[in-house]
Amino acid sequence: MYLLNALGNATFENYAGIEGFTEMAYQMSAHVLTVGYAVMLAALFYFVLTIKTVAPKYRISSVLSVVVMVSAFLLLMIQQQNWTGAFEFNADTQRYVLGNANDLFNNGYRYLNWLIDVPMLLFQILFVVTLTSSKFSSVRNQFFFSGTMMIVTGYVGQFYEVTNPTLFFVWGFISTLFFVHILIVMKKVISEGQQGAPEGAQRYLGMIWKLFFVAWMLYPGAYLMPYLFSLSLEPSLSETAVVARHITYTVADVSSKVIYGILLTLTAQEMSKADGYDYEKMESAI
Ligand code: RET
């Protein structure tokens, strides 16, 4: 086996790339990463084109989705290029191996993308729901603080996923504490938002909570992927785990940014109708 520090603090995708990826594993990764950013560009149009289907007071939610789409599109595109740039085809072994590119593969672009998107996604719902007992500014600050701390601590931790499992798990654990705080605050925001909301909006808010919980859980799952595959304190370097991480991140991104944004738009449409703003009955919605 390889020396487990041959590549310094590089992530496990690179260590797996010493032996190399089969055509299928390499291409599936490249394709999944491409679909990831293509969806963001497509959804950008949805959020722009539907903005007038909700009453003006809910429109900041659509604007925040637009911000999320643009930043995710750009960073996920760079993430895909990072993948294709880091490995090259070797005709002798018929595998894609670490090339002599000057940049190894790293998921850091994702983490820094989250630094923009996580606060935006958390703020977004506050422009749709009406809080009954919590204060807007207090919830906003808690979301901002725990959101950024969760990501920064996870970003540091992911550098150690191969070379120092102890540090990897310690940083991951600290990050999880902030994550639990976010889940608690979000649950409260959604429960308050459901009170007094029209029935359709209540139903969508219930769906948003379930989606939020499952989609956000996928991120720590992807962080742990080399260990979920090895089930030991040595990271797995299997290419299946590498592909599984790309798929997990992409499913998580599409759910937590795009589907979440669409459900918030649908919620805001229901609330707009209850407020007397019904785009379906308007002469011209756009
Ligand atoms: C990390 C580190 C390990 C522990 C935990 C994590 C949680 C990450 C989450 C990220 C959510 C990102 C989103 C991005 C959307 O653009 C940092 C992987 C708990 C929950 C929603």
Could you write out the three-class secondary structure of 31-85?
HHHHHHHHHHHHHHHHHHHCHHHCCHHHHHHHHHHHHHHHHHHHHHHHHHHHHHH
117 CA to middle of ligand 1, Å? 11
Position 99 confidence tier, pLDDT thresholds 50, 70, 90 = confident
Query: Which of the pair, 111 or 1, is modelled with greater confidence?
Result: 111
Q: Which of 71, 114, 213 to mutate to test the pocket of ligand 1 (most atoms within 8 A of CB)?
A: 114
Within 10 A of 43 (CB to CB), how many other CB atoms are there? 22
Q: What backbone torsions phi and psi does residue 44 show, to the nearest 5 degrees?
A: -55, -40
Query: Residue 21 carries which DSSP code?
Result: B
Residue 154 Cβ < 6 Å to ligand 1: yes
pLDDT in tens, 212-248: 999 999 999 999 999 999 999 999 999 999 999 999 9
Query: Mean pLDDT, to the nearest integer, of 198-211?
Result: 98
Residue with tokens 């084109």: 49
What's residue 100's pLDDT?
73
Say how far apart CA 154 and CA 249 lie, in whole Å: 14
Residue 176's identity, in one-letter code, is T
Position 117 confidence tier, pLDDT thresholds 50, 70, 90 = very high
Position 101 confidence tier, pLDDT thresholds 50, 70, 90 = low
How many residues are recorded in the chain? 286
Q: Out of 15-19, 124-128, 208-212, which region has the weakest mean confidence (pLDDT)?
A: 15-19
Which residue lies with its CA nearest to atom 8 of ligand 1? 219
Q: What is the pTM assigned to this prediction?
A: 0.95
Say how far apart CA 266 and CA 185 lie, in whole Å: 22
Which residue lies with its CA nearest to atom 10 of ligand 1? 219
Residue 151 Cβ < 6 Å to ligand 1: yes
151 CA to middle of ligand 1, Å? 6
Q: Which of 175, 180, 182, 212 to mutate to test the pocket of ligand 1 (most atoms within 8 A of CB)?
A: 175
Choose among 217, 222, 209: nearest CA to 260: 209
Residue 219 Cβ < 6 Å to ligand 1: yes
Which residue lies with its CA nearest to atom 6 of ligand 1? 220
Residue 153 Cβ < 6 Å to ligand 1: no
219 CA to middle of ligand 1, Å? 5
Position 103 confidence tier, pLDDT thresholds 50, 70, 90 = confident
Residue 230's identity, in one-letter code, is S
Say how far apart CA 7 and CA 14 lie, in whole Å: 8
**Cα within 13 Å of Cα(273), Cβ side:** 13
What's residue 153's pLDDT?
98
pLDDT above 90 covers what percent of the chain? 91
What's residue 166's pLDDT?
97
Residue 175 Cβ < 6 Å to ligand 1: yes
Which residue lies with its CA nearest to atom 7 of ligand 1? 220
What's residue 3's pLDDT?
57
pLDDT in tens, 40-65: 999 999 999 999 999 999 999 999 99
- pLDDT over 60 at 76, yes or no: yes
Q: Which of 122, 179, 181 to mutate to test the pocket of ligand 1 (most atoms within 8 A of CB)?
A: 179
Say how far apart CA 109 and CA 13 lie, in whole Å: 15
pLDDT in tens, 148-188: 999 999 999 999 999 999 999 999 999 999 999 999 999 99
Within 10 A of 48 (CB to CB), how many other CB atoms are there? 15
What's residue 4's pLDDT?
66
Position 109 confidence tier, pLDDT thresholds 50, 70, 90 = confident
Mean pLDDT computed over every residue of the chain: 95
What's residue 285's pLDDT?
47
172 CA to middle of ligand 1, Å? 10
